[in-house]
Amino acid sequence: MTFEEAQASHRQLAAEIQRHDHLYYVEARPVMTDAAYDALYRQLVQLEAAHPSLVTPDSPTQRVAGHPVDGFPPVTHEVPMMSLDNTYSEAELRDFIARLARLLPGEPLDFVIEPKVDGVAVSLLYLDGRLRTGATRGDGVTGDDITANLRTLRSVPLRLRDIPGGLPRRIEVRGEVFMSRSGFDRMNRERDEAGEERFANPRNATAGTLKQLDPRLVAQRPLQALFYSVGAIDPDTLAPATHRDLLAWLGDLGFRTPRPTWHASHPDAVLQALAELDTARRSFDYETDGAVIKLNPLALRARAGATSKAPRWAIAFKYAPEQATTRLRAISIQVGRTGALTPVAELDPVVLSGSRVTRATLHNEEDMRRKDIRVGDRVVIEKAGEIIPAVVRVVTDARDGSETPFPFPRSCPECATPAVRLLDTQAAEQVAWRCPNPDCPAQIRGRLLHWCSRGAMDIEGGGEVLVAQLVRAGLARDPADLYSLTLEPLLTLERMGAKSAANLLAGIQASRTRDLWRLLFGLAILHVGASVAKALARSYPNLDALARAATQDPAGVQSTGVGDVIASTLHRWFRDDRNRRLLERLRSAGLNFASSLHRPAAEPGKWSGKTFVLTGTLPTMTREQATARIEALGGKVTSSVSRKTDFLLAGSDPGSKLEKAQKLGLTILDEAGFLHLADTP
């Protein structure tokens, strides 16, 4: 074969494979058997082996061309990735439409209704039709560059298809990465077999997968993607004028789009579409947590605008969680990492939102009593936060008298220590019974498992089975023990092969550099959840500074916004010798104690405590600029004039605020006076 022939045959094979990928992953109508596809693919691999110069970055063989990385570089979104407001009722939905009608008087409104896919939002940037960058949403302004991971998804086109109007030179396409229910079930079965921690739901599995630093691992997970919007785009592009046309246009470019969709103008028709989608979504192979209702004409969207968080032209409608009825066979007590005794309902297996459920939480003794839950009852269960199902109520009509009340234990079922009851600080009532014994084996396991969990130190391989084995074998009792683990003793554990052991050690190694908030959260301090941990990590540069403040100045800790209960919990925790020793051992093990979230508090400005109200149009400054100036000097801007207002900054056409301020005798400034005041020290 001459080089020219090889080149021609490469082009043809690559195009053929791309066509079949598209048919399979985008249009979901494969026309070729898997075996025939594999044969084509092998031909391409062989051809490229013989002629390495033919390998281009967008060749189908190059999806997994990336290498493991240490971390993901940040990507700033040119157009922020916003989120959506939620509605839960027909009335709220009608309000949304009425509000838009008021914002856009005289305009006929029409809407597109789409499934809301329960996945992870991503953005793809294409330059000259080639995938350049793929990123997560992050905080909406800055996300992670996960290009190598996204390239492995066959529903992410590496090249855009040619379209009649010509390709935009630059376009950013946005959508959702998700995992099918069947793919998710298969993956969890495999994880069970490998003794690894299960994922709670497809969304967590998707998020966990996209965070992987090795794209080869991502390539093995059944991720899919669909796309529904455009961020930044080259202004010369002949882009569609409505959302409906935009979806079709994205389809022409080679993207999978949400399907089915509905189109409606009248509020009744929108509600009808929502009802139809609710039926249809039950047979989708992926989870939806609602519908998205979007204004169709794109020009009207621009006029409707957005709040700081979400657009005014779209809204999410959340369907009520699915429920199921089953029999409560028994009640067991789980001992958590903080010693809390949680009653768990053991159920006759039942399918709920597509997965098989055998256990549900009963929250606490108080809640069980309120619901009058008895062993043998028929109960209604529901997936609330979608993660752990909960028992909602008893079907009392189904009782036949054989049901028995459950005496809540007064001692720990694991170590027999008498239980104590603490006050729930939020509800100011006594709620959870706790095992007060810090050496309780269940707590030891719970704390270790929490340390390893994805939300905390994220140690791959540190699942329930492993933690139980480590504790039983005496290899670990607390987090610091993990960092002195070596290969040999691990290999003595049941079902622990050399590969899993090495992976676990690599996971432990990688956790040494995690950010301070993860470590703080991982320590399982009572009341210190992820958001409190983040708040603390923002206020203190490192763990030592926090420890010093917690032991010497609890009032100072409280002033970071965490509240007195947490401040005194931290005070006690950091004064406890056991905990201090644990921290010293973590330090010696080389764990990172520094916080990347730390932002030094602003110096108290000269306008701190002063309140401003703005009115009218200023000659040179926008409202935002004036507000920023005031806030930079420590002042506050509010919207209405009252006795508490210190200054009114007035421009032209000031309206009633000026009159009111004059009546109250407030200081009124024009722009020049304002700037003068701002500039004088």
Give the footprint of ligand IVH on this chain (CB under 6 A): 82-84, 114, 116-117, 121, 176, 228-229, 258, 292, 311, 314, 316
Cα-to-chain-centroid distance, residue 539:
23
Nearer to ligand IVH by Cβ, of 304 and 668: the residue is: 304
Q: Which is nearer to ligand IVH, 294 or 657 (CB)?
A: 294
> Which residues have a Cβ under 8 Å from the Cβ of 513 and sit 6 or more positions away?
592
Instruction: Give catalytic status of residue 116 as yes or no.
Output: yes
Q: Are 662 and 645 in contact (CB under 8 A)?
A: no
Q: How far is the CB of 671 from ligand IVH (least distance, A)?
A: 35
| Token pair for 467 | 């933690």
The answer to whether 608 and 636 have CB atoms below 8 angstroms apart is: no
Least separation, in Å, of the C-beta of 86 and ligand IVH? 7
Least separation in angstroms between CB 276 and ligand IVH: 16
DSSP string covering 262-275 = EEE-SHHHHHHHHH
CB atoms within 10 A of CB 608: 12
Give the nearer residue to ligand IVH in terms of CB position, either 119 or 635.
Answer: 119
Task: Give me the least distance between CB of 205 and ligand IVH, in Å please.
Answer: 16
Residue 157 to residue 318: CA distance in whole angstroms: 30
H or E, element range at 190? helix 181-193
User: Shortest gap between Cβ of 434 and ligand IVH (angstroms)?
Assistant: 36
Angle 536-537-540 from CA coordinates, rounded to 5°: 85
Length of the chain, please? 681
Angstrom distances, CA of residue 648 to CA of 535, 611, 616: 34, 9, 10
9, two tokens? 């045959």
Kind of pairing, strands 262-264 and 111-117?
Answer: antiparallel
Measured from each CB, the residue nearest to ligand IVH is 121
Nearest to ligand IVH of 115, 254 (CB atom): 115
| Total H helices, total E strands in the chain | 25, 24
| C-alpha dihedral, 327 to 332 to 338 to 340, nearest 10° | 80
Quote the CA–CA distance of 179 and 119 in Å, as a whole number: 7
Q: Is the CB of 82 or the CB of 304 nearer to ligand IVH?
A: 82
Classified as helix, coil or strand, 97 is helix
Cα–Cα nearest to 440, from 412, 475, 468: 412
* Shortest distance (Å) from residue 229 CB to ligand IVH: 6
Instruction: For residues 406 and 362, give the distance between their C-alpha atoms in angstroms, rounded to a whole number.
Output: 12
Q: How far is the CB of 430 from ligand IVH (least distance, A)?
A: 37
Give the nearest distance from C-beta 265 to ligand IVH in angstroms: 19
CA dihedral angle for residue 525, residue 531, residue 534, residue 540, rounded to 10 degrees: -60
Contact 263, 111 (CB under 8 A): yes
Strands 667-669 and 647-650: parallel
Question: 314 vs 591, which CB is nearer to ligand IVH?
Answer: 314
Q: Just list the catalytic residues.
A: 116
